[in-house]
Amino acid sequence: MLFEDFDLREEIVAALKDDGITTPTQIQEEAIPHILDGEDVIGISKTGSGKTVTFAVPMLDFIKKGEGLQVMVLVPTRELAVQIAGEFTKFAKYLGFKVATIYGGVGMEPQIKAMKKAEILVGTPGRTLDHLERKNLDLSRITCVAVDEADKMVDMGFIEDVSRIIGETPDNRQMLLFGATIAQEVEQLQHKFMHEPVVVKAEQSVSANLLEQYYYALRTNEKFSMLVHLLSKKDFGRTIIFCSARTTVEMLTKNLKKQGFEVSMIHGKLTQSKRLEVMKQYNEGDVQILVASAVAARGLHIGDISHVINYDLSNDPEEYVHRVGRTARAGEKGVAITLLCERDYDTFGQILQRFDVTIKELPKEPFQRVSFDTGRPQSRGTGPRGRPSQGRFGDRRSSSSRDSAPRSGPRREGSRQGISSHRGSGVSRERFSDREGTRSSSRSGERSSSPRRSFSRPSSERRSHSQSA
């Protein structure tokens, strides 16, 4: 099937072809006909499935030039608002429609002027509500409303604002909801504003034939050296490195720059202008490596990503799917690599149990040890908890050998003996066992009463807890 088969305006099809879009994805093929028929639609699909085109293309087909704001898209973040507005502008270039993009952190006057000339409104809930309350915005001619990343709206506490905004639009307008999942709060929007919506679900799991997923089992103090080793390889193209904390993003970026890599970072504490500048540089290819917090895992349009690296994992297993979904998009292949340390075993086990993914373990290659500056003064005498300091790397043993000396303190239960792959030669679900009510209090496997899902390593692979890199 081709976009021409949807019986769209010729100008829209031509603009899509200019952008290299000719064949619809699964969510586009299934949802666009219902939207063109005027039905309310709930679209559920993973990151990278093409949701923006799914609602933008039929919306453009509805618009009449010069008749005021007619379609509105609400999104959770400023970056996403800018990027979706850019997509509308590209697809409408032969039709001459104007797009008003409204978000906080900038002046209102340019937005007011833009809204007076535009047919399309793309905005964040907070600033859109501000304009409504100040009587700057007239939604009386809106014929279609799309809420993108609806589940993210819930997470960020915007759902009440979204409800108030939709309440200002005509009762007979068309309503579209899109997200990776549909939370209970989103269902309230459905019951309040939608009429017999069609639910369209596209493939939820990562495409195994396009995305290769791997992990390295490492000690904490080996992660940065392994990362530098991987990034030095010639087969790494545009790469996103995900971290679970803003402070880790900042430290990692600083240390990668010290190693000579051209790298940018993005997280929620950057100013709006800085975040937009970073994304512009990255999307235009000026920088090949982006270190990011969860803000970049969802909602941002970032194309041509060859590799995603999880420097650490979030406590939320679902975020893994959103992270790795930044690559292997639009039919292209991609690689996701997780640098797995003991602190992430529980989350990693949940990922394998909850999602249909195959993540293969790669053997740890010999690599050069490099320093990681945490920015904190380090004592040359006694280390944490009275243990002798082990220096900048935690220890000086070769990176190609395992730490055979047992660490002090209680041991975790279990071993890696006799493990077989779930699919192919990789890691299996069986390897991350769910031991009800187990946590070893001694080497003999005595059990405590607190349940814990664990992925434990043998004594030859115990991690030292004194490292921070």
Tell whether pTM > 0.75.
Answer: no
Could you give all domains of the chain from N- to C-terminal order, each with its CATH number? 3-201 (3.40.50.300), 211-374 (3.40.50.300)
- Give per-10-residue mean pLDDT for the chain (469 aa): 91 93 89 96 80 94 95 92 93 96 93 96 96 96 94 84 95 92 77 93 66 94 95 87 94 95 88 78 86 72 84 90 79 89 94 89 92 72 42 38 35 33 38 36 34 37 37
pLDDT of 454 reads: 41
Using CA atoms in the order 298, 303, 304, 307, what is the torsion angle rounded to 10 degrees?
-10
State the helix-helix crossing angle for 51-62 and 78-91, rounded to 10 degrees: 50
Quote the CA–CA distance of 266 and 299 in Å, as a whole number: 14
Quote the CA–CA distance of 205 and 182 in Å, as a whole number: 16
Q: How many helices (H) and strands (E) does the chain have?
A: 14, 14
pLDDT of 204 reads: 53
Length of the chain: 469
